[in-house]
Amino acid sequence: MLSRQHAIALEHATGAQLDALCEQAAGVRDTHWPNTLTYSRKIFIPLTNMCRDTCGYCTFVKHPDSGQANILNPSQVLASVLKGQAQGCKEALFSLGEKPEKRYRYAKDWLATLGHTSMVDYLTEVCEMVLDKSLMIPHVNAGTLTFNELKQLKNVSGSMGMMLECTSDRLMKKGQPHYACPDKVPGIRLKTLEDAGKLDIPFTTGILIGIGETWEERVDSLMAINTMYQEYGHIQEVIVQNFRAKAGTAMANAPEPTLDDMRRTLAMARLILDPAISLQAPPNLAQEYPHYIAAGINDWGGISPLTKDFINPERSWPQITELANACEQQGYALQERLTVYPKYLQAGERYVTKALHQAMPAWRNDGLAVEQCIDNTTFQGVAHG
Ligand SMILES: O=c1nc2n(C[C@H](O)[C@H](O)[C@H](O)CO)c3cc(O)ccc3cc-2c(=O)[nH]1
Ligand SMILES: C[C@H]1O[C@@H](n2cnc3c(N)ncnc32)[C@H](O)[C@@H]1O
Ligand code: SF4
């Protein structure tokens, strides 16, 4: 494992030095995640776009007065889930704004019409419906959550996630992207990661790079994630996500991370993190697939044949065939996986509750006992257990 000091010294690695760093990271990947890169076939469900935070990079969030604020109702969610299932999707990715009812009367009143006092309770009900009425597995990314909220959601989801973003308190200051965002306080996000560990929740986290953090802060964020893993063993994957500037946000004119920055960060992440943690980079936020593969990733995260990436709506998903070609050109197969990684599914009821195992009999135990598919136009969505 890379020491903090060594990692910090890589800040300006470029040219041949960067190539060598990437080779080293790719070597670790090849030993622990050989021959195959993976992705999860999913639909994206933006349960609500209202949020009590206002991150300087985010266009997903909509103010109640904007005329675009929304909460999806259960039948809208179910319709989308069933469409996704017919297209062979296995993951229902719930990604949503955080606790809007605590800030906006409008959100509170809307939730009341749905019979709830909090977004987390409503989310729980909707996840339960997905398990009851479909074969899809909910993955919940609702940002920071308390111990009890995590516990409640564990019963109705296969896995959960929250991007740590960055451990820097500096980014909370005025003029910085997390100013006045109560859910982006690093200590609170770390607490969520830790509570998820105590609860044995298969967990996805990651860092968002290019939001004003220093290289050293990036190193420390990855080391903090790794420490959590060493303590609890629940972190199944880490996403290194590159910031994309969006018109109309506070960071509209901020520079985006360069390809070299992304390569350097991915390689460093692969060398800092325990090799058993999956390393993911999103394929729709850049086109440089070969470079990402060469920098040590083993996973592309969720890809949808149906729904756009609501967080980066201008960035369309690649065709799965196109991604498969890129992988094959570098000697790797592209394979579908579930939102829960196999080692957590295979650990009995420790990570995935009994009720959930029963709710998804078609693909418990062995990760993905379903029709493998590369071509999203021909898949029939047949599950056999
Ligand atoms: O389509 C997206 N999927 C995102 N995912 C989902 C990811 O791509 C995979 O579908 C899941 O992690 C399943 O392994 C996240 C999951 C998390 O737990 C936390 C953050 C993200 C962030 C994104 C995202 O920005 N866009
Ligand atoms: C769900 C995750 O999406 C990420 N996210 C939010 N806004 C952006 C952006 N402009 N560019 C890239 N990623 C973003 C954050 O890391 C959040 O946690
Ligand atoms: S990134 Fe998440 S927490 Fe921040 S404003 Fe957007 S929805 Fe809210």
Q: Which of 90, 95, 203, 339 to mutate to test the pocket of ligand 1 (most atoms within 8 A of CB)?
A: 95
Atom of ligand 1 nearest to the CA of 337: 14
pLDDT of residue 363: 56
Cβ–ligand 2 contact at 163 (below 6 Å): yes
pTM for this prediction: 0.94
User: How far lies 129's CA from each of 17, 81, 82, 359, in Å?
Assistant: 52, 10, 12, 11
Q: Which residues, 6 or more positions from 381, have their beta carbon under 8 angstroms from its beta carbon?
A: 85, 86, 87, 88, 371
Nearest CA to ligand 2 atom 6: 58
pLDDT of residue 369: 44
137-141 and 299-303 beta bridge pairing: unpaired
Report how far residue 143's alpha carbon sits from residue 100's, in angstroms, rounded to the nearest whole number: 12
Cβ–ligand 1 contact at 40 (below 6 Å): yes
Pocket around ligand 3 at a 6 A CB cut-off: 51, 53-55, 58, 60-61, 97-98, 143, 183
357 CA from centroid of ligand 2 (Å): 31
- Nearest ligand to the C-alpha of residue 210? 2
340 CA from centroid of ligand 2 (Å): 21
* Bridge partners of residue 159, in order along the sequence: 139
* Bridge partners of residue 71, in order along the sequence: 48
Q: Which of 60, 145, 311 to mutate to test the pocket of ligand 3 (most atoms within 8 A of CB)?
A: 60
Nearest CA to ligand 1 atom 26: 309
> Residue 33 is which amino acid?
W
Put residue 232 in one of left, alpha, beta given phi > 0 → left and psi -120 to 50 → alpha.
alpha
36-45 and 299-303 beta bridge pairing: parallel
**Contact status, residue 260 vs residue 14, Cβ threshold 8 Å:** yes
Atom of ligand 3 nearest to the CA of 51: 8
Low-confidence ranges of the chain (pLDDT < 50): 364-367, 369-385
Cβ–ligand 2 contact at 98 (below 6 Å): no
Per residue in 189-226, pLDDT (tens digit) is: 999 999 999 999 999 999 999 999 999 999 999 999 99
What ipTM was assigned to the predicted interfaces of this complex? 0.94
Token digits of residue 5: 């000091």
Q: Which of 239, 284, 297, 309 to mutate to test the pocket of ligand 1 (most atoms within 8 A of CB)?
A: 239
378 CA from centroid of ligand 2 (Å): 32
Please identify which residue in the block is written with the tokens 């990733």.
297
Cβ–ligand 2 contact at 164 (below 6 Å): no
pLDDT of residue 288: 87
pLDDT of residue 189: 98
Nearest CA to ligand 3 atom 2: 97
